[in-house]
Structure 1
Amino acid sequence: MRERMSRIDAGIRYMLFASFMFALMGVFAKLLSQTMPSLEVVFFRNIFGVIFIAATLVKRPMKHTGGKGWLLFFRGMMGFLALLAFFYNIAHIPLGDAMTYSKTSPIFTALFAWILLKERLGTVGWTALFLGFVGILFIARPTGLILDKTAWLGIFSGAGAALAYTAVRELRNYYDTRAIVLSFMVIGTVGPLILMAISPYVDIPELDMLFGEFVIPPAGIWHYIVLMGVFATLAQFYMTKAYGVARAGVVGAVSYSNILFSILLGLFIGDPLPDLSTWIGIALIVVAGVAVAAAREGRSGS
């Protein structure tokens, strides 16, 4: 019993640290967005990850059976587009709001698992989905039936990540985990390069999240790029450790602390304090996400 509680405590500590690192990554992504397009920020975020994973391959080569190449590409593409939507929102709305949208991914994951994998949701699951979508409306505050661009991109940042996670559940039967992550990192590096190369020839203001000309980073912000990469890598590492030592339901619930960290850190870089409607939306999304995780863990343990 004591050992089990110790593992839970360690998992909570790891996830709290990972959540704080994710929030710090968001801060530096927002600062970088003041001098370069979101597309370029995504490029630098991912190339740091490619270098890190490549270093691990030198010590321990990948071993897997392979196959499902189209699904591996789909996972990488969805991860890249979801991250791009997330970083675009970081540049244009408060950091806490952008993080909250991205944390809707567990809700969408449950929905896609029901649609694509025929998993049961049950009463708790459906109630959680309803609360989660109501929470999104409280944050997005649509005018009539119309949502603005950042709201749609926020929803996609959660839904796109959920599609990527759903694909991972199948891919892990065929690929080394690093290969799955690398598919996302490589597409997230090559994709921005292609889009930045064609950006001078594209003038579609409505699609500004997809295009942006490369800007040579000024000497004074290179440390922001390095710090963003370091914090992102630490976040991924400690998140993995957290899920490795404690139950997913407990760790997943603690992961929502990155919303609070993002709000607090956002205040230091000029973000406004969330209003009542946003706080209600955040609360509903957190409750929904925790409920979905608890329901799925209950089914897997039964």
Structure 2
Amino acid sequence: MSQANQQRPALAALWMTGAIVAFTLMAIAGRAVSFELDTFEIMTYRSAVGVVVVAILATVFGKWGEVKRDKLPMHMGRNIFHFAGQNLWFYAITVIPLAQVFALEFTSPLWVMLLAALFLGERLTRLKLFVAVVGFIGILLVVRPWVAPPSAGMIIAAAAALCFASTAIFTKRLTQSQTITCIMFYLTIMQLVFGLVCSLADGDMALPTGGNVAWIVLIGFAGLVAHFCLTSALSVAPASVVMPLDFVRLPVIALIGVMLYAEPLDAMVLLGAALIFGANYLNIAGAARLERRNSVTS
């Protein structure tokens, strides 16, 4: 990690403010259109907006030469998981409180840690096992199966986090040889095709209306902006700085849920999410210490 990265936390905070706003707007817009469109239709129109934006940016900045075809099967695998995860996420935000969805979404890095050990051969240390246990306790506090069986919405939100973790594993492999432009191009194109196939499967696809077209455009832009801001934040500061800023999403979305949807402000959900965050932070801090140790000895 460069010295420059470690000295730009203010810029990282600015990028993360943009990411938090974008993620929040995407959740609000997703709820707004869910009364007229199903998740497949939302994903279709979101991807269509994404295709237009990526095409314009690739043309303006001369990036078309970066779009390669040598990793198409890996792009396909990544986008199948991302499409599934995003559909599950859009459904979850309509059936359970937004704070619960975001809290369970924070489990994604824990799944990445476990999946990396299984599929990338990364070592599962005692610290990582401890992190997994702490994170699991946090999940239990969010879901509270001793009070009532987990609802379908909770299970779906957890499944979305697992799909996002699988997406991250594919992304980690792809970024070794593919640019962001290439990854984003196949993301939008493939998910547009997936969305069209799923939306048309029953022969009845709802079209955008004057009442929801603005929400659809907002979803498309917010999704791209959120991930761009998050990636930019990680490029100017270490994950140990960015991640606490990302956690601000939870109290923000909890307050949005209270103000816009009269959702209860559940202290146990916030406590469970704090444990999940703490587990993720311990894992990142441990990795940072190991990296510094290796850089000193090399």
**TM-score, L = length of structure 1:** 0.87
Task: Determine the structure 2 residue equivalent to 1:261.
Answer: 252
Counterpart pick for 1:272 among 263, 267, 271: 263
Match of 1:180? 183
- In structure 2, the residue matched to 1:134 is 137
- Where does residue 90 of structure 1 map in the other structure? 93
Q: Mapping of 1:235-246 within 5 angstroms?
A: 235-246=226-237
What are the within-5 Å matches in structure 2 for residues 97-108 of structure 1?
97-108=100-111
CA contact 1:113–1:119 (8 Å) conserved in 2: yes
Mapped partners of 2:243, 2:149: distance in 1: 32
Contact 1:46 1:189 in 2 (8 A): yes
Alignment-derived partner of residue 120 in structure 2: 117
- What residue is the counterpart of 2:13 in the other structure? 12
Change (3 A) 1:196 1:98: same
CA shift at 1:191, angstroms? 1.1
- Residue 247 (structure 1) aligns with: 238
- Would you say how many aligned residue pairs link Structure 1 and Structure 2? 290
Could you say which residue in structure 2 is the equivalent of 1:196? 199
For structure 2, the 5+ residue unaligned runs are 294-298
Q: Conserved in 2, the CA contact under 8 Å of 1:12 and 1:251?
A: yes
In 1, the alpha carbon distance for the partners of 2:222 and 2:63 equals 23
Q: Deviation at 1:148?
A: 3.1
Given residue 45 of structure 2, which amino acid in structure 1 is its aligned partner?
Answer: F
Structure 1 gap ranges (5+): 201-212
2:35 maps to what in 1? Answer: 34
Q: Who is 1:56 aligned against?
A: 57
Q: Which deviates the most, 72-81 or 4-13?
A: 4-13
The yes-or-no answer on 1:81 pairing with 2:84 is yes
2:160 and 2:273 map into 1 onto residues whose CA distance is 16
Name the CA distance, whole Å, in 2 between partners of 1:271 and 1:230: 27
SS of aligned partner of 1:269: helix
Separation of aligned partners in 1, 2:238 and 2:194: 35
Judged with a 3 Å threshold, the aligned counterparts in structure 2 of structure 1 residues 301 and 181 are, in CA distance, closer, same or farther, namely farther
In 2, Cα distance between equivalents of 1:4 and 1:165: 22
SS state at 2:58 partner: helix
**Residues 268-277 or 36-45, more deviating:** 268-277
The aligned amino acid for 1:294 is A
Shift of 1:64: 6.5
Q: Which residue of 2 aligns with 1:45?
A: 46
Equivalent residue for 1:216, pick from 207, 211, 215: 207
Distance 1:256 1:62, change over 3 A: farther
Larger displacement relative to structure 2 (156-165 or 2-11): 2-11
User: For residue 301 of structure 1, what is the aligned residue in structure 2?
Assistant: 292
Which has the higher mean CA deviation after the structures are superposed, 243-252 or 182-191?
182-191
Aligned mates of 1:68, 1:188 — CA distance in 2? 16
Question: What is the TM-score with the length of structure 2 in the denominator?
Answer: 0.88
Aligned identity (percent) is 23
**How much does 1:217 deviate?**
3.0
